[in-house]
């Protein structure tokens, strides 16, 4: 919850400093149930990244169109836009561990179905579209349940650390998955990457089955009743410490996170490299994201000014990468892009979860994910069309500029609401965003 006026103070989480000192970056891994969850997730996340890279390259190979890659991405996230809030209602109503056993199994079956079609030689682009949509339908339930289940495993004191480690987990897998996918595509074909992805979901299923339910933190479940979806929307609308992070990540996610479209286009049309190098580009971005996640895990507070500052730097870096004249410069810029993009996501995610009552967390996180990834069906086809019509550089630059515009607008609203003004300058050689009262007294950092 907010502890004072304006963007500088809402939301703020100040965990016990002794707990942080004892635990450090990996403190939540001391909890057995979370350790099982984390271990299973890193295996399935590796397979997921293999499948994502393979899926994008397969669609580009079948169609030769960046717009088709955008359509695939849009179909995968369209269910979240249409039904995401209902998934949050289910996550608040039913045991989350039971939901995850169902959803993780269904995701594995989708991977096996795509593998069978590809290995048999019958794959067509509409098959990929259909499986992408089915994956999205499962994710409607899986995402809010998985996000909100973290608090049940680790409790409120370790929640921020666990959210950051989840992101580090995902990005660690992103270091391995794209590289392995590139090797498999180039050597034995796309179908084997899809097959491994499907089999890898056995790991999180095993972890969930091995958990000790008695060690989970008990949370009140929402009873069956009418108006629960509207109740969740009213809850968020009345809390600025929730709504503004959600609004900002919605714009950044819709326009700034269309990397499957841009990286395939840069690899194929701008720099004329193959699938292996495309995997390398994803790996470089993942390296930056992993660094950002580990830094986030060490931080003891979550502030909106950090969110606004990271989003602004993220947009600037995307514009710079769009105009990079050489491959090596473009590739190097992907590292800080990954770092600041991850900082935006983790900062907003942890701020929203920490400011939400446990009984509402599933619905709030479903709204968060609906806005963050549900905007992709709007942004991905538009960005794909721009990329096809005007080139990869224009498409990438547009995403960065839209992220910058949204950051400026949200930052202005926050500072106006708090009676502040935002200043951007340099401190000890680093960019620094500060919120200063209009009478001229600086807000404490």
pLDDT winner (highest mean) among 74-78, 145-149, 194-198: 194-198
201 near 105, Cβ under 8 Å? yes
pTM across the whole model: 0.68
Structure-model confidence comparison of residues 366 and 118, the more confident one? 118
Report the distance separating Cα 411 and Cα 177, nearest Å.
36
Residue 189, pLDDT > 80, answer yes
Residue 218 φ/ψ, nearest 5 degrees: -70, 135
- In the numeric block, the tokens 């990929």 are attached to 128
Residue 37's alpha-carbon distances to 28, 32, 34, 45, 444, in angstroms, are 11, 9, 5, 12, 38
The answer to whether 279 and 53 are in contact (CB under 8 A) is yes
Kindly tell me if the per-residue pLDDT of 116 is higher than 90: yes
Q: How many CB atoms lie within 10 A of CB 280?
A: 17
Chain centre to alpha carbon of residue 25 = 20
Of the pLDDT bands very low, low, confident and very high (cuts 50, 70, 90), residue 420 is low
- Quick one: CA dihedral 85, 90, 96, 98, positive or negative? negative
Please give the Cα distance from 339 to 157 (Å, whole number): 25
Measure the CA–CA gap between 422 and 438, rounded to whole angstroms.
Answer: 10
Each residue of 229-287: pLDDT tens digit?
778 788 888 777 788 888 888 889 889 988 878 888 888 888 888 767 777 887 888 88
Instruction: Look at residue 16 and give its three-state secondary structure.
Output: coil
- Residues contacting residue 356 through CB under 8 Å, at least 6 positions apart: 242, 364, 365
pLDDT of residue 3: 34
Is the pLDDT assigned to residue 172 strictly greater than 70?
yes
- Angle at which helix 125-154 crosses helix 361-374, to 10 degrees, equals 150
pLDDT of residue 435: 52
Tokens at 320, concatenated: 């710079």
* DSSP of 227-293: THHHHHHHHHHT-HHHHHHHHHHHHHHHHH--HHHHHHHIIIIIS---HHHHHHHHHHHHHHHHHHH
Question: Which residue has tokens 């609906």?
Answer: 370
């Amino acid at each position: 919850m907010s502890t004072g006026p304006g963007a500088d103070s809402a939301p703020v989480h100040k965990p016990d400093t002794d707990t942080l000192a004892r635990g450090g970056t990996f403190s939540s891994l001391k909890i057995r149930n979370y350790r099982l969850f984390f271990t299973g997730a890193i295996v399935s996340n590796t397979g997921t990244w293999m499948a994502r890279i393979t899926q994008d390259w397969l669609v580009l190979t079948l169609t030769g169109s960046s717009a088709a890659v955008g359509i695939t991405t849009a179909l995968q996230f369209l269910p979240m836009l249409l039904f995401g809030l209902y998934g949050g209602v289910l996550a608040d109503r039913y045991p989350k561990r039971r939901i995850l056993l169902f959803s993780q199994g269904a995701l594995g079956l989708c991977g096996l179905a795509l593998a069978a079609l590809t290995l048999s030689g019958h794959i067509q682009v509409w098959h990929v579209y259909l499986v992408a949509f089915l994956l999205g339908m499962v994710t409607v339930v899986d995402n809010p349940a998985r996000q909100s289940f973290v608090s049940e495993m680790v409790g409120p004191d370790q929640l921020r650390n666990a959210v950051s480690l989840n992101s580090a987990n995902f990005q660690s897998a992103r270091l391995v998955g794209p590289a392995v996918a590139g090797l498999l595509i180039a050597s034995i074909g796309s179908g084997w990457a899809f097959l491994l992805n499907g089999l890898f979901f056995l790991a999180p299923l095993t972890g969930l089955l091995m958990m000790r339910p008695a060690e989970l933190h008990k949370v009140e479940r929402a009873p069956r009743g009418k108006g629960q979806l509207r109740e969740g929307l009213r809850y968020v609308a009345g809390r600025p410490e929730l709504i503004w992070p959600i609004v900002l990540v919605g714009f950044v996610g819709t326009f700034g996170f269309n990397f499957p479209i841009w990286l395939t286009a840069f690899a194929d049309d701008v720099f004329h490299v193959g699938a292996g190098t495309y995997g390398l580009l994803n790996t470089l971005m993942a390296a930056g994201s992993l660094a950002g996640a580990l830094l986030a895990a060490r931080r003891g507070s979550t502030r909106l000014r950090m969110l606004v500052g990271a989003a602004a730097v993220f947009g600037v870096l995307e514009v710079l990468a769009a105009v990079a004249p050489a491959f090596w410069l473009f590739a190097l810029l992907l590292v800080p892009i990954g770092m600041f993009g991850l900082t935006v996501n983790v900062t907003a995610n942890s701020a929203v979860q920490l400011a939400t009552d446990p009984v509402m967390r599933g619905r709030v996180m479903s709204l968060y994910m609906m806005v963050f990834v549900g905007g992709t069906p709007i942004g991905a086809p538009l960005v794909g069309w721009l990329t096809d019509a005007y080139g990869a550089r224009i498409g990438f630059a547009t995403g960065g500029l839209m992220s910058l515009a949204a950051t400026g607008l949200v930052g202005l609203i926050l500072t106006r609401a708090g009676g502040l003004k935002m200043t951007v300058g340099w401190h000890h050689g680093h960019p620094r965003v500060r919120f200063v009262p209009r009478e001229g007294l600086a807000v404490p950092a």
